A and B are shown apart, each in its own frame.
Chain A
Amino acid sequence: MNASAITKTLWSLQAGDAVRVIGFDDSLPERYRVRLEEFGFHPGENVECLMTPGLGAPKLYRVSNTVFSLDDDIASCVLVQMAVSPGAAL
């Protein structure tokens, strides 16, 4: 067993974390989900957390070549999976 996956929300990530989007929380209104998918937060997509400015300020996430900033309302509704690397699991 070399890659166990933990489900988290986008908001809980630290700078430098790279994850894959797996879905959205049910509480997220449909039209917001659609907009997020349009921006590239599509299930299956890789997302990297670039910065967490602190004091509750929106965090920075990279999807392909674009950087978006999401506040906690939205980012806590994006479910992501972090692959624990084999090295870390040892």
Chain B
Amino acid sequence: MNKVLLVGSPNSGKSSLFNRLTGLSQKVANFPGITVDVTSGSLLALPDVELVDFPGTYSLQAISAEEEVAVEYFRRALADPEVRHVLCVVDATRLEKSLYFTLQVIRDAQHHGKLITVLANMADIIDRNNLTLDADALAAEIGAPVLMVSAKSGSGIESIIDRLRDALVREEVSGGRWSETPDALLRGTAHQLAHQHGPRGDVLIQSQTRLDRFFLSGFTGGVAFFGIMLLLFQSIFTWSAPVMDAVEALVGAVGSVVVPLIENTVIADFVADALFGGIGAFLVFVPQIFVLTFIIGLLEDSGYLARAALICHRPLRLFGMTGKSFIPMLSGVACAIPAIYAARSVDSQRQRLMTYLAIPLMPCSARLPVYALLIATFIPDETMFGGLLGWQGVAMFSIYFLGMLMGLIVTGITHRISRVVADDLPFVLELPPYRLPGLLPILRNAEKRCRHFVTKAGKVILSVTIVVWILGYFPNYGADLATSWLGTIGHFIEPVFEPIGLDWRYGVAIISSFLAREVFVGTLGTIFGIEDAEDNMAPLVDQIQASGLPIGSGVALLVFFAIALQCVSTLAILSRETRSWKIPLRMAAAYLVLAYMSALGVFYLVEWLV
């Protein structure tokens, strides 16, 4: 198989060209010994040629560990004998930004005897604005052919194919003008060439600056930011909800058809609760992931995402994050799963880790039923200031606020005590031009991410659901949770919860809420002998109140749930994104300890106060 490498700096239109050339038929490319996800696809016009899409980088001189991996990967790919040709995409309207990288790529490709072609993309913009770029003159200077192309209009695509076809029968080249040139010299040359050949494009900047004045200045910028974030938040919180309900209903409906066909009751229970329950548990996230990925794709492609990052940068920097962490954190208020995916846009590894630390503390919607139950049980339904303020409302606000505050405190402290500057990237953000987003690739990307979630995290979530089901079902075949293995574990760990005034029943509910926090309510209902407590909490509220659980325990539970990372889906997706189980497990342990200690402290405080 002939391979062609596609490289380019960010925002040069590399992905768009890739889609043009391969027709969106991507798969994950494989190079031995490297773990970076790189997509590849066969060329539409030359099906036996595989185009390999590399992560966009500004330079082959890596300044962070993560860039190092990408660069290392590129170098290895160059050494692959199947690779014959390298296509380097540059934004023709912004030569100065990509010419240094281009020269580096030419140098390395020539060093390995590979053919190289430079694709000057965005030719349509050059034409539309009556700008000029002398491709032949530039080609003569850099010593590699330069083709004017447009991923948008499709012009020049045939010339790429012709060139690739020619190259198939060409011998490998060796040596070249730049093959021994050091980086510093290349940088100077690139700078000079960009000046000589780059189009002068004041027109391009003018409209961009006008829009920036609107989106970035005090009042209009603030209103726009607020509106757009509200929209984003609505999309995951409200608009996804009906689809999520539909998914749950569908899984339930399929289950109710299948389960009666099974004669053996144990197997029927297993299929109904563990299998369908588990599948439902992770499928329910898919709509949110899809919608959020789609909306973020729109924001990114339109150019707004970079502006939003700029607006949020200053406050978040105090906590070791960057402006790009804001959208993931905000999404975390709906659900940590899509939020963790959203953190992919944070390009510094360290800041991404900080963002991962903050996300699970955001008050996600799965906590809401738990909060609702505990607040209804323990906080008096009374008002103050002549009915203006209700205690329950204040409690709900406080517990939400506590989560966000904890997120910032934890990242702030971690940032201060682990100051390893070596992996930080400087805040230099390219502000791409405002553009009308192309829907198809964005939808495609959202679908890809959902598929990633279902195939990668689904297995883990399903397995844990099955384990918890087995623990709760045996040895008495689901007759009584109290005497099940889960109940036994609950009794066993009772001493842990005793200092907070909680007995084994809460231990069992907490363990099972690891599947998803809201399971706490249903499990507690089952133990108290109440059906469907998750839909109608009032009887459960009465029962807990009648059991005489002190208010300190209730508030302690609230605080525990605000902090503890007991969500198998979050852990599963974190381990996928960080490519390790070490980080999520450490986080889970740390937050468990923090949650427990805080709950204990709050318990004593409240008991002392009342």
Are A65 and B199 within 8 A (Cβ)? yes
In the complex, per-residue mask of A43-62: 1 if CB is within 8 Å of any chain B CB, else 0: 01100001101111110101
Tell yes or no: B536 within 8 A of A by CB.
no
A-B pairs with beta carbons under 8 Å apart, 23 shown: A32-B63, A35-B59, A35-B63, A36-B426, A37-B187, A39-B430, A45-B191, A50-B212, A51-B213, A53-B221, A53-B311, A57-B310, A58-B314, A58-B427, A60-B212, A64-B96, A65-B200, A65-B204, A65-B205, A67-B212, A69-B428, A71-B427, A74-B426
* Contact in complex: A71, B313 (CB < 8 Å): yes
Contact indicator B198/A71 (Cβ below 8 Å)? no
**Interface members, chain B 432-487 (any A CB < 8 Å):** none
Q: Is B543 an interface residue (CB 8 A)?
A: no
- The smallest C-beta distance from A43 to any residue of chain B, in angstroms, reads 9
- Say whether, besides A53-B216, A54-B218, A65 and B431 are in contact (CB < 8 Å): no
A42 interface residue (CB < 8 Å to B):
yes
Q: Are B212 and A51 in contact (CB under 8 A)?
A: yes
Beta-carbon contacts under 8 Å, B386-438 to A: 421, 426-431
Tell me whether B377 is interfacial, beta carbon within 8 Å.
Answer: no
Point out the residue from A34, A50, A66, A70 that lies within 8 Å of B97, measured CB to CB.
A66
Q: Which among B198, B314, B430 is the interface contact of A64 at CB below 8 angstroms?
A: B198
Complex CA–CA separation, A26 to B342 (angstroms) = 36
Given the known interface contacts A32-B63, A73-B426, the answer about A65 and B201 at a Cβ–Cβ threshold of 8 Å is yes
Chain B 316-327 interface 0/1 with A at a Cβ cutoff of 8 Å (1 = within): 010000000000
Total B residues in contact with A, Cβ cutoff 8 Å: 44
Closest 7 CB pairs of A and B: A31-B63, A71-B427, A65-B201, A67-B431, A64-B96, A40-B96, A56-B314
Q: Tell me if B63 and A57 are in contact (CB < 8 A).
A: no
A42, B187: Cβ atoms under 8 Å?
A: yes
Dominant secondary structure at the A interface = mixed
Known: A65-B201, A65-B204, A65-B205. A38 touches B431 (CB 8 A): no
User: A63 and B216: CB pair below 8 A?
Assistant: no
Q: In the assembled complex, which residues on chain A have CB atoms less than 8 Å from the CB atom of B200?
A: 65
Residues of A with C-beta under 8 A to B174 = none
Question: Which residues of A sit under 8 angstroms from B430, Cβ to Cβ?
Answer: 39, 66-68
Question: A29 to B429, alpha carbons, bound, how many Å?
Answer: 18
Q: Which one of B96, B199, B313 has the highest number of Cβ atoms from chain A below 10 Å of its Cβ?
A: B96
B209 interface residue (CB < 8 Å to A):
yes
Q: How far is the CB of B59 from chain A (nearest CB, A)?
A: 5
Give residues in A with beta carbon < 8 Å to B. 29, 31-32, 34-40, 42, 44-45, 50-51, 53-58, 60, 62-71, 73-74
The verdict on B265 contacting chain A, using a C-beta distance below 8 Å, is: no
Contacts of A60 in B (CB 8 A): 212, 216, 431
The answer, among A55, A67, A74, for a CB contact under 8 Å with B314, is A55
User: B345: which A residues are within 8 A, CB to CB?
Assistant: none
Shortest Cβ distance from B413 into chain A, in angstroms? Answer: 21
Instruction: Identify 4 new A-B residue pairs, CB closer than 8 A, beyond the known A31-B61, A38-B59, A69-B431.
Output: A53-B311, A58-B310, A60-B431, A66-B97
Contact of B429 among A58, A62, A73 (CB under 8 A): A58
Shortest distance in angstroms between B91's beta carbon and chain A's nearest beta carbon? Answer: 9
Give A67 Cβ to nearest chain B Cβ, in Å. 4
Which residue on chain A has the smallest CB distance to residue B199?
A65
User: For B313, what are the chain A residues with a Cβ–Cβ distance below 8 Å?
Assistant: 57-58, 71
A-B contact count (CB 8 A): 118
Q: Smallest CB-CB separation from A71: which chain B residue?
A: B427
Contact of A39 among B218, B311, B428 (CB under 8 A): B428
Residues of A within 8 A of B218 (CB): 53-54
B residues near A53, Cβ cutoff 8 Å: 216-218, 221, 310-311
On whether the beta carbons of A57 and B204 are closer than 8 Å, the reply is no
Centre residue among A29, A54, A71 by max chain B CB count within 10 A: A71
A64 B194 Cβ-Cβ under 8 A: yes
A36 to B, closest residue via Cβ: B428
B93 is an interface residue with CB less than 8 A from chain A: yes
CA distance A70 to B221 in the complex (A): 18
Q: Cβ of A40 and Cβ of B191 under 8 Å apart?
A: yes
Do A50 and B209 have beta carbons less than 8 Å apart? yes
A32-B426, A39-B97 given; A71·B209 CB < 8 A: no
In the complex, A50 Cα to B208 Cα: how many Å? 11
Chain A minimum-CB-distance residue to B204: A65
Q: Which residue of A lies closest to B317 (CB)?
A: A71
Assess the B94–A51 pair: CB atoms within 8 A: no
Contact at B431–A74, with CB atoms within 8 Å?
A: no
Cβ < 8 Å to A, chain B residues 176-214: 183, 187-188, 191, 194-195, 198-201, 204-205, 208-209, 212-213
Q: Is B100 an interface residue (CB 8 A)?
A: yes
Closest residue of A by beta carbon distance from B312? A57
**In the complex, what residue of chain B is closest to A54 when comparing beta carbons?**
B218
Which residues of B lie under 8 Å from residue A35 when comparing CB positions?
58-59, 63, 426, 428
Asked if B101 lies at the interface with its beta carbon under 8 angstroms from chain A, I say: yes
A55–B218 CA distance with the chains assembled, in angstroms: 9
* Best-surrounded residue of A32, A60, A67 (most CB of chain B within 10 A): A67
Q: Which residues of B contact A62 (CB under 8 A)?
A: 205
The reply to whether B209 and A51 contact each other, CB–CB distance below 8 Å, is yes
